[in-house]
Amino acid sequence: MTKNLTEGKPLQLILGFAVPVLLSLLFQQFYSLVDTMIVGKTLGSDALAAVGSTGSLNFMVIGFCSGVCAGFAIPMAQSFGAGDEDLLKRYIGSSTWLCILFSVVMAVATALPCKFILQVMDTPPEILEDAYSYIVIIFWGIPATYLYNILSCMIRSVGDSKTPVIFLALASLLNIGLDFVCILTFGMGIAGAAWATVISQGVSGALCLIYLKKKFPILQPKGSQWRLTLRQAGKLCGIGIPMGLQYSVTALGSLILQIFINGLGTAAIAAITAGSKLSIMFTCPFDALGSTIATYAGQNIGAGKIHRIRDGLHCCIILGSVYSLIALAVFWVAGGSLSLLFLDSADALLVENSRLFLILNAIFYIPLAAVIIYRFCIQGMGFSQMAICAGALEMVGRTAMGMFAIPVFGYAAACLAGPVAWILADCFLVPACYHYIKKVAAEHQAALEQHQLP
């Protein structure tokens, strides 16, 4: 069930690994998409705005969870690439205990003060209660988020990107059913959508756990391999926490931006929410390429095949650029129609504003693809601390647009805040990535020469 990414043509390996990851991401976004569609169509634009007003806060917290798990998987991929099964299992044992600790602490630390945070964000009073009832359930469900993410990352670290997709697909079907039952049958409102998401994510995680125990002996620690040791914990946290913080720092900029968007009113929030949901769905291929290059770089670092990283990186950039042009064409032709998945056709201005958001963002999808691919490549090589700098630049870009551009130019400036942040991040990530490839190659060559000395 494992897959070695250190042998074979990079393009073929990347496509073979990225497609299942893409399907997994699409199913994961399907949770949110279905929630938003049902909320918007059955509960109205105010309810849709309530969900949207929590988006940046949700991403800041859940993004940290996903980033930590992805970071924990990098030492696993490196160990697998090096053929060190014992070390791989020790990383798995330590990461399991760390995830349990992180999930409990984060659930308590985020759920308890979240209403106060929403108030600080200047969430409109008419949607505050709905926003709170949605996000507090999502935060209490953080252990389910950790369960799925760490198990799927473990499985992907040894080259299997297909298995998590199957279980996430099943959970997506469950999510749809629970949405209708909770929202339409039991009348639970926005809280029903949140419960559907948490339960479905927990089910997908449980299925991954059952399958891992049956099919992946290489991922099952035994005896002392389960111990949480300082050495393994330090390496895992040294990579995982910076990756999680990178997501959170980026999201902090979105959170600050959301405060200024909230000032534009409920209609603007609803339009950007609809556009954002579609944009996130359409940019899943970039995230799939990013996850792929992280595992690809990690395995090849472990195997000492540094020269393959640049080839894989360029394959991902080409694929991302081609897809960016396709996405722009789709939004240009059908952006308004796609927005009707969330908005009522009677709200013509909302539909047009949502289409404007999609087009202005899609024009800059190539810089976005570069942000994700170069950042994940840096992280896959083990330099996740440096990616925080890119997140800080994104935060600066979004904050500056919120403080200085939105008050002057209004809605259009809110649409362009993301593109400005991506371009700033690329100014750091692109040269940094090639610098670290050269650095790792030089260190590897020096180690080989040292080893050959008598």
Band the pLDDT of 397: cuts 50, 70, 90: very high
Element (H, E) at 294: helix 284-303
Q: 136 lies in a domain?
A: yes
Band the pLDDT of 50: cuts 50, 70, 90: confident
Residue 174, exposed/middle/buried by CB under 10 A (0-12, 13-18, 19+)?
Answer: middle
Residue 34 pLDDT greater than 80, yes or no: no
157-184 residue pLDDT tens: 888 878 877 877 787 788 888 888 888 8
Q: 23 lies in a domain?
A: yes
DSSP 8: S
Q: What number of residues does the chain have? A: 454
408/4: higher pLDDT: 408
Domain count for the chain:
1
67-105 residue pLDDT tens: 899 889 989 988 988 889 999 999 999 999 999 999 999
Q: What's residue 172's pLDDT?
A: 79
Q: What's residue 145's pLDDT?
A: 92
Q: 5 lies in a domain?
A: no
Band the pLDDT of 220: cuts 50, 70, 90: very high
Q: What percent of the chain has pLDDT over 70?
A: 96
Residue 44 pLDDT greater than 80, yes or no: no
Q: What's residue 121's pLDDT?
A: 81
Q: What is the mean pLDDT of residues 438-442?
A: 92
Type of residue at 127: I
What distance in Å separates the CA atoms of residue 193 and residue 180, rounded to the nearest whole number? Answer: 9
Q: What's residue 2's pLDDT?
A: 67
Dihedral, CA of residue 167, residue 172, residue 177 and residue 182, to nearest 10 = 110
Band the pLDDT of 248: cuts 50, 70, 90: confident
250/430: higher pLDDT: 430
Q: What is the mean pLDDT of residues 144-165?
A: 87
Q: 72 lies in a domain?
A: yes
**Count of beta carbons in the 10 Å neighbourhood of residue 147:** 22
Q: What's residue 32's pLDDT?
A: 64
Structural domain harbouring 392: 10-452
Q: What's residue 1's pLDDT?
A: 57
Q: What's residue 89's pLDDT?
A: 94
Q: 2 lies in a domain?
A: no
Residue 413's nearest CA partner among 261, 254, 250 is 261
Q: 424 lies in a domain?
A: yes
Mean pLDDT of the residues in the chain: 88
Q: What's residue 35's pLDDT?
A: 67
Q: What is the mean pLDDT of residues 231-240?
A: 90
Q: 65 lies in a domain?
A: yes
Q: 36 lies in a domain?
A: yes
292-326 residue pLDDT tens: 999 899 999 988 899 899 999 999 999 999 999 99
Question: Would you give the distance in Å from CA 315 to the centre of its chain?
Answer: 21
Q: What's residue 31's pLDDT?
A: 63
Residue 290, exposed/middle/buried by CB under 10 A (0-12, 13-18, 19+)?
Answer: buried
Residue 349's nearest CA partner among 339, 341, 338 is 339
Q: What's residue 452's pLDDT?
A: 63
